[in-house]
Every structure is written in C-alpha cells, then in structure tokens.
C-alpha cells in the first residue's frame, strides 16, 4: 500500500496498477486454450511474451496468471468486469514456493528402499497367480474360546492359522517349494518354516517360525511373540528372517477383510488373511438360514513352481482343517 499526500493530509488511496501495452497479435490465428485466449485478450498480452510450461510448448492458464501477477498488470477499462470473473479467487502462488507450502520431501530409509526393490522385482519377474476362498471359522473360534478360558496362556486366531497352514503344508510337498533363480528350478523344502509378516517402524519384516508343523499352538504363540519383539527392537538375526517355505500376512486385526499381497521371493506362496465377517448361509438340507463366521484367504502363488490344481487343493485342505480344528491340538 502506497501513501499519497494531498494538501497536507494523508490518503490511503492505492497506487494505480500498471497498464500493459496492447498486444498487436491476432489471437484467433494461434492455437490456445479458451481460458488462456480470454486472459490474453482481457489484459492485452502478447502470447510471445509468455514462457509456456504446457506440453509441446503450449501456454497454460497458470503461465498467464503468473505473468500477470509478476508484473502487477491490470485489465483495460472495458475488460475489468471480465477480468474479475476470469481471475482465481486468490492470487496465484509462485511455483517455486509451493514445495514448502504443500509438502515436504522425506528421506527413504534403507529398509524402505530394499522393500521397494524386492517388491518391484517380484511383480516384474514372478508370474503371480491368485486364488481366493471364504473359509468358515466358527469351530476354530469356539475351540480358541474354550482353550483361552481354561488355560493361563491366551492363543490368537493367527496362532491357529499358522498351525493350520503348517499342518496342510506338511501334507502338500508339491507346494512346499521355492524358485531357484540361479538354476531356474523348483527346490523342494525339507522342513515347514512359516514366515509371519510383522509391521515395524519404517517397514515390514518376516521372521520365521521354524518347523511349525512340529510345534504346538502354545509353542507357536510363544515363538511369534518373541520374534515380533525382536523385530521391533531390531535384534533379529539374519537366519531368523531370511528363508521360509511361505509367508502369512494377516491384516484382519486392522479391519481389512481381504487384500492381495506380493510374493516374497524365492518363496512360491504368500497367504493374505483378512478379518472375520458374518454372513447368512442356507442349509442345503433344511433350507433354513443360519449365521456363519468366515475369513477370506487369498493365495498368491508362483506359477513357475506351483500348479492351480495343487494350490486349489491346499485351500481346500485349509478349509477342512479349520472345520475340524481339534486336529491342531492333538
């Protein structure tokens, strides 16, 4: 705001805005966006004076507004009303200052970089195939409730899932395989080692429950707690998170009902476990409705080493074991 003195008194009248020399170019002969053409006409600007930022050198509306703002231009007397309608509600912010106003660049941790590289490589080079199945877990929940009410140690649904997956994998050697990139072959695994995805500060890590098929539910519960604690403290040894037969990623505790994870090479399978939901089912014998609790399991497998029929049978085995979960405590 400038001050002008008239006869000894102070006036707060604003200084007149600069007038721009009228453009001598015929805008109708130039390829312009309608909004750009309108602004150039209102402010009598020669398009040759504008530095274009659009594709193939096209002038954008923002280019014109910046030109107007930088030079404090005002429209011609006849175009003032049009200028008010065409102009944005607030003065344009210079592009150079947007960075500090709207966002901040944050460094990527080494863990994030490794995760990004591995997942990108997996999606590019691993032929992912997908299968999904809704599996009833009412009997599993009843058994868990009974055990937790009678024992000092509390089991989680994930403990049952790990044990069930290990049990089925033990009986399915065809899918207990990994892909050897160097030899371009499928390697059969002699043990059942289950990787469990654990969220930690700055990323995700997959500590391994070794020989999970030979461990009890309580041993799995202890093992997972210990591994998760070590993962969050950053004290896991390399052998405790590198390897594994397959990975279980369970997001049910976060309210996610279904999702699709990315295979963790050289493993051939990753299981995406969603949270439980209730649904109405028709009894085929009585034709009556009853409520059933289900979880959605998505099986992602490497098609180079695992066939659809074997993957499908594995999901069916999981449904059978969860329908009779007492097998998991024998």
Catalytic residue among 2, 20, 167, 303: 303
119, exposed or middle or buried, with CB in 10 Å at 0-12, 13-18, 19+? middle
Note whether 287 and 151 are within 8 A (CB): no
Q: Residue 267, SS3?
A: strand
Residue 234 burial (CB count, 10 A)? 11
Burial track 78-89 (b if 16+ CB lie within 10 A, e otherwise): ebeebbeebbee
**244 — alpha (psi -120 to 50), left (phi > 0) or beta?**
left
Task: Give me the phi and psi of 205, to 5 degrees please.
Answer: -140, 155
To which residue do tokens 């009779």 refer?
324
Note whether 164 and 325 are within 8 A (CB): yes
Note whether 213 and 170 are within 8 A (CB): yes
128 given a catalytic annotation: no
Task: Give me the phi and psi of 61, to 5 degrees please.
Answer: -60, -40
For helices 157-170 and 217-233, the axis angle rounded to 10 degrees is 110
Q: How many angstroms from the chain centroid is the CA of residue 235?
A: 27
Count the residues in the chain: 330
CA atoms of 160 and 155, how far apart (whole Å)? 8
3-state secondary structure 193-218: CEEECEEECCEEECCEECCHHHCCHH
State the catalytic residues: 303
């Amino acid at each position: 705001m400038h001050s002008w003195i008239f006869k000894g008194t102070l006036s707060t009248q604003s200084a007149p805005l600069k007038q721009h020399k009228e453009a001598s170019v015929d805008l109708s002969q130039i390829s312009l966006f309608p909004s750009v053409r309108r602004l150039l006409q209102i402010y009598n600007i020669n398009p040759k004076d504008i530095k274009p930022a659009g594709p193939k050198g096209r002038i954008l509306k923002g280019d014109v507004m910046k030109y107007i703002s930088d030079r404090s231009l005002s429209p011609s007397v006849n175009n003032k009303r049009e200028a008010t309608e065409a102009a944005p509600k607030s003065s344009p912010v210079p592009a150079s200052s947007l960075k500090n106003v709207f966002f901040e660049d944050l460094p990527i941790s080494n863990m994030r970089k490794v995760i990004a590289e591995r997942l990108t490589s997996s999606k590019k080079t691993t032929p992912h195939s997908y299968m999904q199945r809704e599996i009833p877990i009412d009997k599993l929940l009843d058994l868990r409730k009974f055990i937790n009410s009678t024992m000092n140690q509390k089991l989680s649904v994930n403990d049952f899932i790990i044990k069930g997956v290990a049990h089925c994998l033990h009986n399915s050697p065809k899918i207990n395989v990994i892909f050897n990139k160097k030899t371009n072959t499928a390697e059969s695994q002699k043990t059942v080692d289950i990787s469990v995805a654990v969220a930690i500060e700055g990323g995700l890590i997959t500590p391994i429950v070794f020989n999970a098929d030979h461990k009890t539910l309580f041993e799995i519960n202890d093992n997972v707690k210990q591994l998760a604690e070590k993962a969050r403290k950053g004290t896991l040894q390399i052998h405790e998170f590198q390897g594994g037969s397959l990975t279980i990623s369970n997001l049910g505790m976060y309210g996610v009902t279904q999702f699709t994870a990315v295979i963790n090479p050289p493993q051939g399978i990753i299981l995406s476990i969603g949270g439980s939901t209730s649904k109405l089912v028709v009894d085929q014998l009585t034709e009556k409705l009853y409520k059933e609790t289900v979880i959605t399991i998505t099986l992602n497998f490497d098609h180079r080493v695992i066939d659809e029929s074997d993957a499908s049978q594995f999901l069916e085995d999981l449904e059978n074991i969860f329908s009779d979960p007492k097998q998991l405590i024998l």
